[in-house]
Amino acid sequence: MKERIRKKTESVYEKLMNEEDARVCKAIDESACKVVPGNFFLTIISYFFNKLADSVANTKVIIPWIMESLSVPLFLISFLVPIRESGSLLPQLLIAAYVRKMPIRKYVWVSGAFLQAFSMIGIGIVAWNMTGLNAGIAIIALIIVFSLARGLSSVAAKDVLGKTIPKTRRGVLNGYSGSLAGLLIIGLGIYFLMVGEKPFSPQNFGIILFSAGAFWIIAGVVYSRIKEFEGETDGGGNAISVALKKISLLKTDKDFRNFVISRALFLCSVLSAPFFVILAQQQSVSNNYLLGLFILSGGLADFSSSIVWGKLSDKSSKNSMIIGATIASSLGFLVFFLDTFFENIFATIWLMPLIYFILTVGYQGIRIGRKTYLVDLAGGNKRTDYVAVSNTVIGFILLFTGFIGILSSIIGLNGIILLLAIVGLVGVFMATKLPDVTSD
């Protein structure tokens, strides 16, 4: 039975990858090469449930709506995205020192998935039983745990991927998992459209978060089945001293330094998205429909573009980042122009979700491109260091970008969107200086 499943898996993998006689095994060991098909599909399935859970428990849309419905004070809601983003990135440089000591690292990812499940189920319980300030404090505490868990998974994910999946196959893997998850998120968006103007209670949101927790548990169980072979364990030591030493990579490694600068500038795409949503909310009187359209737009964007970006990233992850960032920055200029010269144009309920769809398509290009680029740029334990240093630096930057909302009283929402668009264009220029590493 197992032999039949193995042969079927290899057959499907070869058809998907257009491989016939010789399997492509760039940058992985010969022992890992023999089990690539099985690992490929196990990784896709686990990534699918991970992305699905992440989309269902969207901290940019779903969690803020839950907190608002629970009458949580606004100042607590404003901490949500900075904690979620920076909390998962900042500790990674310290975590990586311990991960380097582990010859098998998939269980770090699994632990992160289970902790994310615990956090979201906890927020679901809060939605059922608490309101006001107490609910807000409980949710923020659980988001901190959630963010740290994401950090665990992030440190391990790229290293395991680099050990088990060959070059020219990593981008398409991310693409397939993103598209499959996007397909189900489309269904969630349609559900909100069907709800329409009907009240959507906190208990309903609680059930959604219970589902997200179940998805993370499934993701962790599937990921634990990946056949990972022992890797390098040198470089382990005192976490703080190792962390400080690895920061020097930014000074000594030019290509890595330029990548981190480009990635930081590309934050414009993810930072501008909430301002797009706020701009639409300010001019809309149909919140449930608007929420449904935004969720639907995000799901459609993931489903329709992820595989395309994945295949492009396997050919040139650098170009994937550049094209995606160009799309995102161009939309910033477009939104600024429309809002400046056409009063209340975004009262047209479908217009901003359409723009958000295109923005999400661009963001997918940046996200899949940068993940593939970083894995291909590094090798061995260097990959873990690259991921940890890069994510820690981005985490610090995100803490400061949380204050960008203060500028709204000076330059307005459309001014912030314009500023972020300009930053994105600078990122595109920096990315053109990066070497193309995919085919190395």
| 77 in a structural domain | yes
- 98-102, 193-197, 420-424: least confidently modelled range: 193-197
Residue 74 has pLDDT above 80, yes or no: no
Residue 107 has pLDDT above 50, yes or no: yes
Higher pLDDT, 91 or 113: 113
| 33 in a structural domain | yes
CA distance 277 to 275: 5
Task: Report the pLDDT averaged over residues 213-235.
Answer: 78
Residue 128 has pLDDT above 80, yes or no: yes
pLDDT of res. 217 = 94
Tell me which range, 147-156, 167-176, 286-295, is most confidently predicted by mean pLDDT.
147-156
Name the pLDDT band for 391 (thresholds 50, 70, 90): confident
- Other CB atoms within 10 Å distance of the CB of residue 104: 15
CATH of the domain at 249: 1.20.1250.20
What average pLDDT does the chain have?
Answer: 77
- 31-40, 47-56, 152-161, 362-371: least confidently modelled range: 31-40
Name the pLDDT band for 238 (thresholds 50, 70, 90): very low
pLDDT of res. 421 = 93
Whether residue 388 contacts residue 244, with contact meaning beta carbons closer than 8 Å, is answered with no
Q: Find the domain containing 294 and state its range.
A: 28-431
| 180 in a structural domain | yes
| 1 in a structural domain | no
Residue 10 has pLDDT above 70, yes or no: no
What letters, b where the CB count within 10 A reaches 16 and e where it falls short, cover 169-180?
Answer: bbbbbbbbbbbb
Rg of the chain (C-alpha set): 21
| 95 in a structural domain | yes
Higher pLDDT, 416 or 92: 416
| 66 in a structural domain | yes
| 12 in a structural domain | no
Residue 212 phi/psi, 5-degree rounding, is: -60, -45
Higher pLDDT, 191 or 286: 191
- 167-171, 266-270, 335-339, 383-387: least confidently modelled range: 167-171
CA distances, 157 to each of 48, 194, 244, 387 (Å): 14, 37, 22, 10
pLDDT of res. 86 = 76
The burial class, CB within 10 Å (0-12 / 13-18 / 19+), for 23 is middle
| Cα-based torsion angle of the residue sequence 254, 256, 260, 265 in order, rounded to the nearest 10 degrees | 60
Task: Report the pLDDT averaged over residues 329-352.
Answer: 89
- Does the predicted model carry a pTM greater than 0.75? no
Whether residue 414 contacts residue 279, with contact meaning beta carbons closer than 8 Å, is answered with yes
pLDDT of res. 277 = 78
DSSP class per residue in 90-101: TTHHHHHHHHTT
pLDDT of res. 429 = 93
Residue 314 has pLDDT above 60, yes or no: yes
| 408 in a structural domain | yes
Whether residue 143 contacts residue 25, with contact meaning beta carbons closer than 8 Å, is answered with no
Using alpha carbons only, give the angle 96, 102, 107 rounded to the nearest 5 degrees: 90
CA distance 385 to 189: 38
According to DSSP, residue 228 is labeled P
What letters, b where the CB count within 10 A reaches 16 and e where it falls short, cover 53-85?
Answer: bbbbbbbbbbbbbbbebbebeeeebeebbbbbb
Task: Report the pLDDT averaged over residues 172-182.
Answer: 67
pLDDT tens for 39-72 read: 777 887 888 888 888 877 877 677 877 777 787 7
Amino acid identity of residue 294, one-letter, is: F
User: Which residues, 6+ apart, have CB-to-CB distance to 406 below 8 Å?
Assistant: none
pLDDT of res. 306 = 77
CA distance 417 to 143: 27
pLDDT of res. 22 = 45
- 9-18, 392-401, 422-431: least confidently modelled range: 9-18
CA distance 150 to 114: 10
How many domains, in total, are found in the chain?
1
DSSP class per residue in 417-433: HHHHHHHHHHHHHHHTT
Residue 201 has pLDDT above 60, yes or no: yes
First and final C-alpha spacing in the chain:
38
Using alpha carbons only, give the angle 351, 354, 358 rounded to the nearest 5 degrees: 140
Residue 9 has pLDDT above 60, yes or no: no
> 339-347: which pairs have CB atoms within 8 A and are 24 or more residues apart?
339/279, 339/413, 339/414, 339/417, 340/414, 344/283, 345/283, 346/279, 346/280, 346/282, 346/283, 346/284, 347/283, 347/284
Higher pLDDT, 158 or 355: 355
